[in-house]
DNA sequence: CAGGCTAGGTTTCCGATAGGAACCAGCAGG
DNA sequence: CCTGCTGGTTCCTATCGGAAACCTAGCCTG
């Protein structure tokens, strides 16, 4: 009587679960959001995001690329220039991500309030 | 010309960013989804989710509780019974999460295809 | 009435991961 | 020749994740 069917994000072998884990990462959502308005350079993302290290950014981008969500374009210039942009598949993720960031903007303060209000109350 | 304003999930001190990091966790989305249809017991979640350890489940639930997204109800019975349910605040997260899981269900296979298709191609 | 069962939670231990700092490549300009 | 720009990688450590054992507390069974 659980009401969950196959394809739900349960049971480790279903693709939905894998995809959820893809984006359930500290930086993935922010990076994808940063790419949502067009191609962006590596360095721009660093400044834009703030708090991410070059290593983590590169690592996140590589993973997204491997999963087919973004495309990497390296120009043979000096100094080097590398741009990243969403693939069509990656672009389909923007809507769900926008909902998340909208939720975050609307409810972020409520979450913060709860954080210092409740000393982990237990109702019984 | 970045086009991102305050409240966008950038810059570590904004509440949106904090809220995004709240759910950008391996288990959070799955656990919240598991609670989306009503109160569920600890043990039920373990079986339902599959792959999560008791430790991580407890830890995730505690964090969600501290952030005001779920409520814990411990019945003084033997053997013990503990139910978790979404708070009104937590319930507002279900819509965004549904979009994510829908995306995952629709595009999970495409992601998997990309994974073994592309040997990390570089377009330059 | 000793010992086992239950269900939720915690502790211990160890391998995996995150992430900062420092370093590298490669060429232009002073 | 030495420095700087940009993207990326390596090294090292603090933290995290997960399996398994243990704990609590009452009921049930032999």
Residue A72, CB, strand D, below 7 Å: yes
Report CA(B36)–C1'(C5) in Å, whole number. Answer: 32
Write down the H helix ranges in chain A: 15-23, 28-34, 42-49, 54-66, 88-91, 94-117
Mean pLDDT of B8-19: 70
Measure, in angstroms, how far nucleotide C7 C1' is from residue B107 CA: 38
Of A100, A118, A122, the CB nearest to B68: A118
The alpha-carbon gap from A27 to the nearest alpha carbon of chain B, in Å, equals 8
pLDDT band at residue A120 under the 50/70/90 scheme? low
**What band does B23 get if pLDDT is binned at 50, 70 and 90?**
confident
* Dist CA A70 CA A62 (whole Å): 9
Q: What average pLDDT does the segment A21-28 reach?
A: 87
How far, in Å, are B53, B86, B118 from residue B66 at the CA level?
20, 12, 42
A41 touches strand D (CB under 7 A): yes
pTM equals: 0.87
Give the helix ranges, DSSP H, for chain B.
15-23, 28-34, 42-49, 54-66, 88-91, 94-117
CA of B80: nearest nucleotide by C1' is C7
Which residues of chain B are within 8 Å of residue A105 when distances are taken between CB atoms? 7-8, 15-16
| Helix A94-117 / helix B15-23 crossing angle, nearest 10 deg | 100
Could you tell me the distance in Å between the CA of residue A43 and the C1' of nucleotide D6?
8
Q: Is the dihedral of CA A70, B124, A78, A63 positive or negative?
A: positive
Q: In this predicted structure, which of A47-56, B91-100, B108-117 has the lowest mean pLDDT?
A: B108-117
Q: Do residues A60 and A53 make contact, with C-beta atoms less than 8 angstroms apart?
A: no
- pLDDT tens, position by position, B29-81: 999 999 999 999 999 999 999 889 999 999 999 999 999 999 999 998 888 99
The whole-angstrom separation of Cα B62 and Cα B66 is 6
Cβ of A55 near strand D (under 7 Å)? The reply is yes
Euclidean distance between CA atoms A61 and A67, whole angstroms? 10
Mean pLDDT value across chain A:
85
Per the CB < 8 Å rule, is A108 touching B10? no
Query: Please, which pLDDT band fits residue A44 given cuts at 50, 70 and 90?
Result: very high
Q: Which of A21, A30, A37 sits opposite B3 (nearest CB)?
A: A37
**pLDDT above 90 (res A54):** yes
Distance between B58 CA and the closest CA of chain A, angstroms: 13
Question: Who has greater pLDDT, A9 or B21?
Answer: B21
For chains A and B, CB pairs below 8 A equal: 212
Q: Tell if the CB–CB gap between A16 and B104 is shorter than 8 Å.
A: yes
């Amino acid at each position: 009587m659980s009401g969950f069917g196959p394809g739900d994000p349960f049971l480790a072998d279903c693709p939905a679960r894998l995809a959820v884990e893809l984006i359930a990462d500290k930086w993935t959502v922010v990076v994808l959001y940063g790419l949502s308005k067009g191609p962006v350079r590596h360095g721009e993302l660093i400044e834009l995001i703030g708090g991410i290290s070059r290593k983590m950014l590169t690592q996140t981008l590589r993973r997204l690329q491997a999963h087919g969500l973004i495309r990497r374009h390296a120009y043979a210039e000096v100094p080097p220039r590398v741009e990243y942009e969403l693939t069509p598949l990656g672009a389909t993720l923007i809507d769900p991500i926008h909902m998340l960031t909208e939720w975050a903007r609307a409810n972020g303060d409520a979450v913060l309030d709860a954080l210092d209000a409740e000393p982990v109350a237990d109702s019984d």
